[in-house]
């Protein structure tokens, strides 16, 4: 049964529960058996709370779209009373929450059976998941020598390994889309403020961070986004309203779209040849579907954006660490090297730099909006097509946090931004973006292709993703472990 169930997406599993073909308890049994079978190799699932899951089933699950389907929360944010967290850090081990976050309340209302958390890097700062608090790196089910990505790397690995059909993640610089690309999954980052942040934070990283999901199918993401979207009480700002919702949007193809294809970085540097070819192949697929595809890349100050992103995240990291320390010394047994060096770097910045960096991010968002809008002498694109990562998934250990060069780690030669030069652009601009599992390297590693749309055009983007999924299905392409 476990192998049969592991090939289905969450929507199909929920239908099986609803029709009586399988029970929520049987699905939970299968998920826990998969944890026992696969987690020792990948180190993705932590803080298992089987009793909480059994109790939720016994008390009666909400009658939502995913009633009875096993689920996992990322071990960073998504605060839940029944699910304490380490937040990727020894400093925050076994944090208990006094109340549920708004995003967890909405996820729970879908009827999922959450039974634990998935690994994340300390502070969510990184494109890999190798936090010391978990006793070792999280590995990619497709090839254990490679990373599953970050910061939602545990979620990506758990779904790719067949432990769960979908899982919660979050994305402040690509942290849903990078694991999606690395693990052969679908990952969607919504327009800024589409999902709630409260009550534990007003916004994440100056509005650049947002929750999301790692899924095998576009429809699972669409249904979950519809269940969770909308501001929570007291939200500082809200996303433009949806016309009909994500699920309605994927029920029919979008209009024929203008697509700008970029097979380099957004500043013109070459990327891995296999990855560039995957982008061009995606462009050819879109052309075959009747969309207009031509070369293009945004006219925007990407270098300025990344410097501002680095400073905002550095200050945010320092603030959270200093708050958690509560006067204790900042020592290596509590905080890893990248976190300690982020604190040291933040201390060198003038007190005005944070607001200056936020202003630069906002200016960059306007530049990107202008690119998509076009002008009197040229039409802007509806969609920007690129790679998700500049190369296939990195080897484990290449981007570990046991180092003291936060800025170089992010933007130095061979750093995270060179490896992932696409994703953070759309956290800064606030635009919706998605990674689709359309490519594969000669060595068998997944390659994600990235699509982004104008601010607020989530429905059009996810409709295009569904059209691509229908034309080039990826469901049958799975890690051998799964």
Q: Which helix (H) or strand (E) holds 118?
A: strand 113-118
Q: Which helix (H) or strand (E) holds 54?
A: helix 50-59
Distance CA(73)–CA(100), nearest Å, equals 13
Q: Using alpha carbons, select from 398, 394, 402 the residue that is nearest to residue 122.
A: 402
356, two tokens: 């200056």
**CA-CA-CA-CA torsion sign (224, 230, 236, 239):** positive
Distance CA(246)–CA(243), nearest Å, equals 9
In the annotation, is 288 catalytic? no
Q: Using alpha carbons, select from 209, 267, 235, 225 the residue that is nearest to residue 427.
A: 209
Distance CA(203)–CA(234), nearest Å, equals 11
In the annotation, is 175 catalytic? yes
Distance CA(302)–CA(425), nearest Å, equals 7
Work out the angle between the directed axes of helices 302-325 and 353-373 (0-180°, nearest 10): 140
In the annotation, is 74 catalytic? yes
320, two tokens: 């959270």
Pairing of strands 186-189, 374-375: unpaired
Please report how many Cα atoms fall inside a 13 Å half-sphere around the Cα of residue 476, on the Cβ side. Answer: 3
**CA-CA-CA-CA torsion sign (231, 46, 328, 332):** negative
Task: Tell me which of 170, 175, 182, 429 is the catalytic residue.
Answer: 175
Q: Which helix (H) or strand (E) holds 37?
A: helix 24-42
Task: Tell me which of 74, 181, 189, 429 is the catalytic residue.
Answer: 74
Query: Torsions phi, psi of 163, nearest 5?
Result: -70, -45
Distance CA(185)–CA(141), nearest Å, equals 12
Task: Tell me which of 89, 120, 148, 151 is the catalytic residue.
Answer: 151
Query: Torsions phi, psi of 452, nearest 5?
Result: -135, 150
Q: What residues act catalytically? A: 74, 151, 175
């Amino acid at each position: 049964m476990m192998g049969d169930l592991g090939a289905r997406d969450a929507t199909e599993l929920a239908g099986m529960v609803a029709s009586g073909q399988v029970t929520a308890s049987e699905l939970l049994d299968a998920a826990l058996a998969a944890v026992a079978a696969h987690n020792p190799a990948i180190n993705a699932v932590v803080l298992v709370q089987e009793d909480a899951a059994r109790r939720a089933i016994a008390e009666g699950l909400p009658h939502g779209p995913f009633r009875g389907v096993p689920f996992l929360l990322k071990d960073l944010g998504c605060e839940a009373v029944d699910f304490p967290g380490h937040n990727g850090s020894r400093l925050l081990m076994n944090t208990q929450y006094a109340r549920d976050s708004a995003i967890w309340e909405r996820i729970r209302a879908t009827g999922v059976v959450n039974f634990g958390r998935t690994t994340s890097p300390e502070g969510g700062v990184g494109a890999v998941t190798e936090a010391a608090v978990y006793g070792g790196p999280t590995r990619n089910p497709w090839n254990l020598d490679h990373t599953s990505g970050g910061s939602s790397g545990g979620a990506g690995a758990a779904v790719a390994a067949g432990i769960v059909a979908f899982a919660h993640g979050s994305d402040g610089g690509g942290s849903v889309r990078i694991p999606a690309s690395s693990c052969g999954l679908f990952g969607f980052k919504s327009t800024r403020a589409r999902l709630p942040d409260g009550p534990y934070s007003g916004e994440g990283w100056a509005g650049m961070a947002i929750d999301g999901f790692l899924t095998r199918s576009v429809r699972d993401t669409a249904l979950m986004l519809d269940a969770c979207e909308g501001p929570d009480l007291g939200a500082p700002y809200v996303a433009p309203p949806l016309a009909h919702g994500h699920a309605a949007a994927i029920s029919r193809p979008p209009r024929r779209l203008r697509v700008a294809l970029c097979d380099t970085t957004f500043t013109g540097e070459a990327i891995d040849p296999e990855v560039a070819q995957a982008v061009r192949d995606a462009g050819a697929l879109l052309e075959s579907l009747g969309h207009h595809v031509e070369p293009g890349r945004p006219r925007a100050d990407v270098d300025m954006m990344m410097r501002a992103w680095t400073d905002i995240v550095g200050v945010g990291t320092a603030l959270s660490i200093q708050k958690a320390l509560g006067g204790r010394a900042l020592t290596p047994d509590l905080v890893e090297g990248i976190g300690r060096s982020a604190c040291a770097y933040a201390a060198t910045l003038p007190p005005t730099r944070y607001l200056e960096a936020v202003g630069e991010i906002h200016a960059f968002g306007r530049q990107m909006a202008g690119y998509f809008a076009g002008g009197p002498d040229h039409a802007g694109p509806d969609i920007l097509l690129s790679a998700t990562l500049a190369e296939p998934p990195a080897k484990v250990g290449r981007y570990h946090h046991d180092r003291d060069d936060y800025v170089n780690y992010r933007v130095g030669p061979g750093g995270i931004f060179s490896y992932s030069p696409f994703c953070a652009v759309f956290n800064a601009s606030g635009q919706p973006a998605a990674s689709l599992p359309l490519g594969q390297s000669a060595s068998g590693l997944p390659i994600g292709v990235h699509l982004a749309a104008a601010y607020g055009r989530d429905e059009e983007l996810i409709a295009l993703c569904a059209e691509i999924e229908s034309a080039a299905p990826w469901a049958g392409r799975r890690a051998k472990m799964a």
